[in-house]
Chain A
Amino acid sequence: MKLDIGGVETIGVPVEALWKALNDPAVLTRCIPGCKTMTEIAPDAYKVELQLRVAAVGGSFEGEISLADKTPPKTCSIKVSGAGTLGHGNGSARFEIAPEGPDTSRLTFQGNGEIGGLVAGVGQRILSSVSKHLVGRFFVALRKEVETPAEGAA
């Protein structure tokens, strides 16, 4: 099944700091829900291992993430593909980062994906809310990652 994903997030760091964090595999590993490892296999291309639970079923996924069309520190395209026993998926999204204040950035993202396998067939009803939940968890973790040091410094 097809899935659209998109939203706007306001994050309390300057544009450059957000850009840097989003391009840091270590940060992403900590922020992507269920991400166990993220290994660089080529410039801007990574291999990831995820351990995820969707409702009552959980499983492991292996996939690749690649970044393209980068215009630092403003826009970037991200492509994700993965497969595991619970299903497979691929998708792409476009990020745009714009300053909202002196120490605040606005991140807009828009994309779509396609999901197949067990998660699509059995998890269809909850897939949209699960994906929303996972995106939410990513940003919660990202804020914690980028905003906390600033508070410590103040």
Chain B
Amino acid sequence: MSADPAAFRFVSTNRRVREDRRFVAGQGHFVADVALEGLLHVAILPSQHPAARIVSIDVSAALAMPGVHYVLTGDELAAATDPLMNGLDTPNVRRHPLAVGQTRYAGEWVVAVVAESRALAEDATEKVRVIYEPLPFVMTAAEALKPDSPPVHPAHGSNVLLDRTFVWGEVEKHFAASPRKLSFRVTWGRSSTVPIETFGVAASWDPWRDMLDVWASIQMPKYPDQIARALRIPANNVRVHQDVDVGGSYGVKRGIKQTVLVAHLARRLGRPVRLIEDRLENMRGGDAHGPERIFDVDVAFNDDGIVRSMKIRALDNAGAYAGRAPFQLGKPIGAIVGPYQIESVQYRAQSVTSNKAVQEAVRGFGQAPTNYAIETAIDKVAAATGLARIEVRRRNFIRKDQFPYLIPSGSTYDSGDYHTVVDKVFAHIDFASMEKERDRLRASGLLAGIGIAACLEPSGANSSFEPLLNEKNTTTTWMDSCRIVVDALGFVTVTIHNTSSGQGHETLVSTVVGEVLQIDPDLIRVIRPDSLACLPSNSPVGSRMAIMLGGAAFHAAQKLKTKLTRIGAHQFGVADDKAAYANGSVASNDKQLAWIDLVTIAHRQYHMLPEGMEPGLESTHVMQVPTGGTLPKDGRVQMYPCHSFEFHVVLMAIDPALGKPEIRRYVIGHDCGTVINPHIVKGMTLGGLAHGLGAALLEEFVYDDEGHLMTQSFMDYLLPSAHEVPEVEIVHHCTPSPFTVFGQKGSGESGYLGAPAAISAAVNDCVSPLGISFNKLPIRISASAMPSPTRNKANRKSKPNDHRLPRPSGAAEPAGIDPLAGRAIPVDPPDRGRRQPRILLRRRQADPAGVETAERSARPPEMDGRTENRASGGRRLARYVRLRSAGGGGRGLVAPDQYPSGADRDARTALRAARHRAAAGRRARRRSAARGACRGL
């Protein structure tokens, strides 16, 4: 089925992305642009407690305010609607849009106020009086796993949503037979995709037509079905308008609770109602956090670095309700060995509830954390065997000639040529010179390192993980569809049956249909009908649209081409296979019928059509996921059909005084098969890298010990900015997939799936001379560099002050080791004596094993006289940080410092020791230089 890339006319060519024009001109049409007459607005009252019984809610004062139309509580909504869909078989973990009876996380939505304007609604939420009775709560996955932890859902009996162990192959035998083994733990912090446009939804109800109209910023499979089910109305009474642009998603725009809430209000009030989350509602209660996962990994290998078997235990903190979190442990099963020939795997997937916000699907659906664990394992095997990290990868890679390759967990990888991609990247960067550059940087006093990561992007999503993790689920298809209509004037309109959150579907479909029909894609209109006019489709998730929508468009166009050819052949009086379609015309020998003639026959001249042919020109195709269609057997299933490959190389430098990781060079080798539009793939890759950089170094939803989210705004939840995101060099390679129409694979998650692993590896290579390593993301190393020794001395000299500043409980002295995990520590001590406010740095959730000491002995980095200047630079930076913080100002340099982990602080000690060693070395050098000078005299 795959076509010859050289023969493409439009596919893979340098064509503009059709959607860009309207976005660049500010003419996107988002949910906030939907104008509805008589629109009412919703604001939300959140819970202030991580867990509390709702004793009473008094809405009278709010209702009495002019302009307020309604105040909705959880009890009323729960009585009128069914609980939201739960993918697992956990019937007692019920989830409603508004808390019922008790709240389960700080920020959970408790009351919704409807008013003439959003501002009025917000004011009215302040008048709602809720009496709470605080309940015990649990924040960490490790705690939640304990049988005596406070259950988030008492009716469920425990906090365990999922605990399933898979054994694929002879794991124990391979471990017993392997001469070398190692074990480690890595932790993926809770971050997400955090789109600039928060979730928004507007709904109106027409009682005379029994029709619920919904406009939403949505990227959600089976969205209309879920609305209908929750509202207990027929599905054909729900009409979702899919021509609403979505301002960013990558998984999280699945606002089902928001939609059920707003739809109920629209029906209840008989007026259109809209809820557009503000940033705080979105961050703390939009139920859009991502995975938070602890990996315990055992690896069995030999002295040659060949990895034979792995045991992975993944413990995920799902948050207060099941959401999609447990399934994000399931999808990575489809690429559980990464690009490596690992013979057997044991995988234990554990998902627990906690009193944190709910998870939603995030780009890669759990693959990026898993790739981080796998790549860390390979780096550790390299360290243990003394082999180069790239050598271990090369030895373990699946070879090009082994595809299609069946991995132990039941998926067949379609194609790949990992060795060639690596070779191309290494040739592009001249790896030896990059190593020299790293050594030069180290010699200049910087901590410098190179990180590499080789990761897979499974693509063409089906939902095989659902039946795999829930036996009651028997889904074996996840189709997508396309319809092509040629009107009587000969113009082509293609309908697609999804929303778009920026993936460029219109460009994709017009390119594919143009390619097949050999007509200019710019002449093809692409529309998105409302859900009631749609063909069966799922949503643009799981890197599937190039494969699935591209495939559906291809097949629909082929059917249309066949029909046109038959019409032509009939006129010529020849057999169908004696006529040929080319460039819109059908020809046979010396006879030819032009496009408009064929169109006219189809639309107006039934008497000229072949017998039995339907008039008009229309074709549809509903596409099944390639390779999909079977239920799991013995814990094995074919997951996604295609597997893109990405190989990252990062050169990083960290100034030991500033502690700010600085990416000096970033190169990615990328192979997603046949590229349909190079600009879209490039944009996905660059955006994915930035996203991955955030997950690796900046972004985290941090909860304090009392269960409150400390990073609710962009002042605290730090997104990568132009300051942090490097220029990226992309090295392309194309290994077509045998399972898709053009050989294309997915690329919607590219960059993100490998960047965190690569950046983590680079940081760890930077600090390896200090004998430490970081095993938690995000790594916020810059806190480690402060305070400098000089500033500590000044601090010690400062007198204790009677006017003690308020400080958090358990505050430790800056230089000390924090005795209590999870407590805040103050830094920026030099100003303490001057009664200025301190910044408070709060460490992340406790993991005493935040830092590891490398097996090999610590070697002090070479440093020169610049170190002292840098130390004073550190003082300047500290002051800058303080000023910025005190002013409540923006971000930037302050960024990574806010939540140092235990790892950060241990690293701080190590860095300080390095500085001392460097200073001692300088003194010794000065002495010997002086001696040499004397001898010279």
Query: Which residues of chain A have a CB within 8 Å of any CB of chain B?
Result: 1-8, 55, 59-60, 83-85, 87-88, 112, 114, 116-118, 120-122, 124-126, 128-129, 131-132, 135
Contacts and interface: CB of A to CB of B under 8 A. Distances in A.
Given A2-B810, A3-B808, A60 B709 contact: no
Given A116-B708, A121-B284, A124-B710, A8 B803 contact: yes
A60 B805 CA distance: 25
Contact of A128 (B709, B712, B716, B838): B838
Contact of A3 (B45, B806, B837): B806
Given A7-B802, A128-B808, A129-B837, A117 B708 contact: yes
B888 A55 contact: yes
Given A2-B809, A3-B806, A121 B840 contact: no
Contact of A125 (B45, B706, B839): B839
A131 to B, nearest CB: 5
Ranked nearest first, the 6 interchain pairs of A and B with the lowest CB-CB distance are A117-B48, A129-B837, A85-B126, A2-B809, A128-B806, A8-B802
A60 B126 CA distance: 8
12 contacts: A2-B706, A4-B807, A4-B809, A5-B806, A7-B804, A83-B48, A120-B708, A122-B713, A125-B885, A126-B888, A128-B808, A131-B806
Contacts of A121: 106-107, 280, 284, 708-710, 712
B842 interface: yes
Nearest to B130: A83
Given A1-B704, A125-B888, A128-B808, 13 more contacts: A2-B706, A2-B808, A4-B809, A85-B126, A121-B708, A121-B712, A125-B716, A125-B840, A128-B807, A128-B838, A128-B840, A129-B805, A129-B886
Contact of A85 (B125, B705, B808, B824): B125
A7 B803 contact: yes
Contacts of B810: 2
Contacts, number: 99
A129 B888 CA distance: 11
Nearest to A56: B888
Contacts of A126: 837, 886, 888
B49 interface: yes
Contacts of A118: 48, 280
A128 B48 contact: no
Contacts of A2: 705-706, 808-810, 824
A84 B45 CA distance: 11
B429 interface: no
Contacts of B839: 125
Counting chain A CB atoms within 10 Å of each CB, the highest count among B49, B810, B837 belongs to B837
A114 B706 contact: yes
Contact of B45 (A6, A85, A116, A124): A85
Contacts of A128: 805-808, 837-838, 840
Contacts of A124: 710, 716, 840, 842
Contacts of B715: 125
A122 B888 CA distance: 10
Interface string B836-847: 011110100000
Contacts of A120: 704, 706, 708, 710
Query: Which label, helix, strand, loop or mixed, suits the secondary structure of the B interface?
Result: loop
Chain B, interface residues (CB within 8 Å), range: 35 or more
Nearest to B704: A1
B811 interface: yes
Contacts of A88: 48-49
Contact of A4 (B45, B806, B842): B806
B804 A6 contact: yes
A83 B824 CA distance: 24
Counting chain A CB atoms within 10 Å of each CB, the highest count among B48, B106, B284 belongs to B48
A6 B800 CA distance: 13
A51 B803 CA distance: 26
A104 B568 CA distance: 109
B936 to A, nearest CB: 57
B61 to A, nearest CB: 11
Contacts of A125: 715-716, 839-840, 885, 888
A128 B836 CA distance: 11
Nearest to A1: B704
A59 B122 CA distance: 12
A60 B123 CA distance: 11
B293 to A, nearest CB: 23
Nearest to B836: A129
Contacts of A85: 45, 125-126, 128
Contacts of B809: 2-4, 112
Contacts of A5: 806
Contacts of B807: 4, 128
Contacts of B704: 1, 120
A5 B804 CA distance: 8
A6 B807 CA distance: 9
B106 A132 contact: no
B886 A1 contact: no
A121 B717 CA distance: 11
Contacts of A116: 48-49, 106, 706-708
B48 A87 contact: yes
Contacts of B838: 128
Counting chain A CB atoms within 10 Å of each CB, the highest count among B125, B709, B804, B885 belongs to B804
Contacts of A122: 280, 712-713
A1 B843 CA distance: 12
Counting chain B CB atoms within 10 Å of each CB, the highest count among A5, A88, A112, A125 belongs to A125
B342 to A, nearest CB: 43
Interface string B115-158: 00000000001101000000000000000000000000000000
Contacts of B885: 125
Contacts of A87: 48
A128 B842 CA distance: 13
A66 B107 CA distance: 29
A47 to B, nearest CB: 14
Interface in B671-713: 704-710, 712-713
Counting chain B CB atoms within 10 Å of each CB, the highest count among A6, A131, A135 belongs to A6
A10 to B, nearest CB: 9
Contacts of A83: 48
Contacts of B49: 88, 116
A7 B808 CA distance: 14
B198 to A, nearest CB: 16
B389 to A, nearest CB: 40
A122 B838 CA distance: 17
A5 B808 CA distance: 8
A1 B899 CA distance: 14
Nearest to B284: A121
Contact of B706 (A1, A7, A60): A1
